[in-house]
C-alpha cells in the first residue's frame, strides 16, 4: 500500500525521530528472509524415549518404581564364600571365576578355613521390638454404650 504524501508529512510532523519506525514496519524492510523460509539451524535427534516399542509404560511410570528384591541362589552364595576364602588364602578370586565350578553351599561351609560366624562374630539379626499401646492421657472420657468409640492411643514408654 503506497503512502500518500499528505500522510507522510503528517507522520514526519508528529514523530520525534522520523527515522525510527512508528510501530508498523513495512514487511519488505522488516525481514529479509521470512521466519518460515529460513533453513533449519538445528535438527534434534529423535531420542530413544520416543520409540514406544523400546520404552514400555512400566519403565516410564516412576510411581510404581518400587525397590526390587535381590535373590541369590545357594550356588551364588557358595561361590562368593569360596571367593572370599580364596582371597584370604591368596590364590585370588580370578582363579575361582575362571574355573566356572559350581559349589555346594554345605561343602563350602564345611571346608571353610575360618568359620564365617563364631560366638563373638554372629550374623545380623532383625530387631524385634514389642510395643504396648495404652490410652493417651489427653483422651477425653468415652461415654458408655458408644457404638464406635475413637480413642487416642500412644506407645507405652
Within the chain, how many helices (H) and strands (E) appear? 6, 2
What is the C-alpha to C-alpha distance for residues 7 and 11, in angstroms, rounded to an integer?
6
Q: List pLDDT tens digits, range 118-142.
A: 888 888 888 888 888 888 888 888 8
**Diameter of the chain measured on Cα atoms:** 111
pTM to 2 decimal places: 0.34
Establish if 106 belongs to a structural domain: yes
Q: List pLDDT tens digits, range 15-51.
A: 777 666 556 666 666 566 666 777 777 777 777 777 7
Establish if 68 belongs to a structural domain: no
According to the model, what pLDDT value does residue 26 have?
63
Establish if 81 belongs to a structural domain: yes
Query: How many domains, the chain?
Result: 1
Establish if 147 belongs to a structural domain: no
Q: Is the dihedral of CA 88, 92, 97, 102 positive or negative?
A: negative
Rounded to 5°, angle at Cα 56 from 50 and 60: 80
Q: List pLDDT tens digits, range 6-18.
A: 988 887 788 777 6
Establish if 100 belongs to a structural domain: yes
Establish if 85 belongs to a structural domain: yes
Establish if 42 belongs to a structural domain: no
Return the number of other C-beta atoms located less than 10 Å from residue 81's C-beta.
16
At a CB cut-off of 8 Å and minimum separation 6, what does 92 contact? 86
Establish if 97 belongs to a structural domain: yes
What is the C-alpha to C-alpha distance for residues 68 and 35, in angstroms, rounded to an integer?
51
Structural domain of residue 98, as residue ranges? 74-110
Amino acid at each position: 500500500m503506497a503512502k500518500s504524501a499528505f500522510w507522510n508529512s503528517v507522520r514526519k510532523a508528529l514523530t520525534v525521530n522520523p527515522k525510527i519506525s512508528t510501530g508498523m514496519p513495512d514487511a519488505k524492510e522488516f525481514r529479509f528472509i521470512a521466519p518460515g523460509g529460513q533453513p533449519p539451524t538445528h535438527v534434534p535427534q529423535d531420542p530413544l524415549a520416543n520409540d514406544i516399542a523400546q520404552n514400555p509404560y512400566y519403565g516410564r511410570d516412576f510411581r510404581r518404581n518400587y525397590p526390587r528384591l535381590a535373590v541369590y541362589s545357594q550356588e551364588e552364595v557358595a561361590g562368593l564364600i569360596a571367593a572370599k576364602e580364596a582371597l584370604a588364602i591368596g590364590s585370588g578370586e580370578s582363579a575361582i571365576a575362571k574355573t566356572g565350578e559350581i559349589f555346594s553351599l554345605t561343602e563350602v561351609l564345611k571346608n571353610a578355613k575360618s568359620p564365617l560366624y563364631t560366638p563373638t562374630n554372629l550374623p545380623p539379626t532383625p530387631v524385634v521390638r514389642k510395643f504396648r499401646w495404652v490410652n493417651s492421657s489427653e483422651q477425653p472420657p468415652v461415654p458408655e454404650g458408644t457404638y464406635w468409640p475413637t480413642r487416642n492411643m500412644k506407645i507405652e514408654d
